[in-house]
Structure 1
């Protein structure tokens, strides 16, 4: 049900998370070993900048960050696959497969992800965030923020985790994080080589690849991201499926 690289990552993240939160100073801190949401067996990985909420919202932080590895661990150990059953007795949060239902505002990042994936696969239902079946979503920066507050990301622990085999196992990797990572970091973390760039104001596309994968590094996909950019990314990647 789950590939070995994902099981290994979850085990690693649970151990590291437990050690991290054993320190009382970290009790209400974002989890550097947050894994992500969606379908871990998908062929597409999308890595954004960071989760877009206030880190002082402790309930949301608990569901979406602190306990993320433990929730995945529960599904693996109990052989539970994709579902839409609430993991907690929560008002809105569902689970790591479908964190929320019907949360697709026009400028919201998830709406852009849906549109991009629909250009690749076509005919994905828009209701109940069905696009989560077609990709795995995570973030470069593990610290949530309503507004991006950094230009480069260099947290060693997080970058070391992103270097895990699981994050390299996707046919298509989309780094929708702008310049958070430098060229050398991208090449080293994802085992790809720079190929070429397509330059357009505020919509640059940097292409990396190896014999089995294509990686697209572009801007954060939200707000004023044009449909033309999403179509171009889809055109560049869909032949890898």
Structure 2
């Protein structure tokens, strides 16, 4: 049910006590966010986060999986901020990728993607998050075959990754290069943008964008979804 590469990452995560992620490890799309938005006083959510690697180890041992689709009812913690929170934006992007009509307050993107965070220090507000683990986390991702094997990676973490004239973190970590402004630059406004990076054989697509929450434009998510959908059709991952 689970790949050797995923099992190796989980085993390492249990030993070193780091967060693995959530969703479908056998999917072709990886979403990487900044950090989990968990308040420091939310002990239930913190315990869930801290036990993530061990939870995956249990799923591996019992040949089971997480709950990958559910309705966000009135009592669900995501309900109040639905439409602005990251989960709702991930869902909308996934719907665009699959050319699917969105269902109100419904999550099923986890069936089609795996999600994780580049900062293994959850905090409700990014400005208050401890960021010292990010360097080590980047090395983990670079050296993890599980992470590297995803043909589509969405880096929804803004300036947590640098790719400029002097520092090429995305190129170095994921083995891709920016395809140039004419093809790869999608600016909408100061807070809405994404850039395309491909492997030399064009079999891997890495998209760098902002954190997908709050005032992310639907038109940007739609265009990003079209780019990913075309890539997946061209490479045989989904049928047109």
1:74 counterpart residue number: 58
Residues 141 and 153 of structure 1 are in contact (CA less than 8 Å); yes or no, is this contact kept in structure 2?
yes
Which blocks of at least 5 consecutive residues in structure 2 are unaligned?
Answer: 73-77, 233-240
What SS class does the counterpart of residue 52 from structure 1 fall into?
Answer: coil
Counterpart of 1:165 (choices 145, 162, 174) is 145
Cα distance per residue 1:109-130 (max 9 Å; x no partner)? 1111111110111337745521
Match of 1:235 among 226, 230, 236: 226
Deviation of residue 162 (structure 1)?
1.7
Partner of 2:115: 137
Q: Which residue matches 1:190?
A: 174
Alpha-carbon separation, structure 1, partners of 2:172 and 2:136:
15
Residue 120 of structure 1: aligned partner: 97
CA RMSD, Structure 1 to Structure 2 (Å): 2.2
TM-score, normalising length from structure 2?
A: 0.80
Aligned length: 211
Distance in 1 between residues matched to 2:108 and 2:187, nearest whole Å: 32
User: What does the per-residue CA deviation read over 1:30-65, in whole Å, with 9 as the maximum and x for residues that have no partner?
Assistant: xxx20110001111101111111213322211102x
Partner of 1:219: 210
- Counterpart of 1:89 in structure 2 is none
- Please name the residue that 1:54 is paired with: 39
* 1:160 CA drift (Å): 1.9
Question: What is the CA–CA distance in structure 2 between the aligned matches of 1:56 and 1:173, rounded to whole Å?
Answer: 31
Looking at structure 1, the residues matched to 25 and 127 of structure 2 have their Cα atoms a distance apart, in angstroms, of 29
TM-score for the superposition, normalised by structure 1: 0.80
Q: Is the 8 A contact 1:5 1:166 kept in 2?
A: yes
For structure 1, list consecutive stretches of 5 or more residues without a partner in the other structure.
Answer: 18-32, 85-96
Distance 1:11 1:55, change over 3 A: same
Q: Distance in 1 between matches of 2:61 and 2:228?
A: 34
What CA distance in whole angstroms lies between the structure 2 residues aligned with 1:148 and 1:125?
A: 28
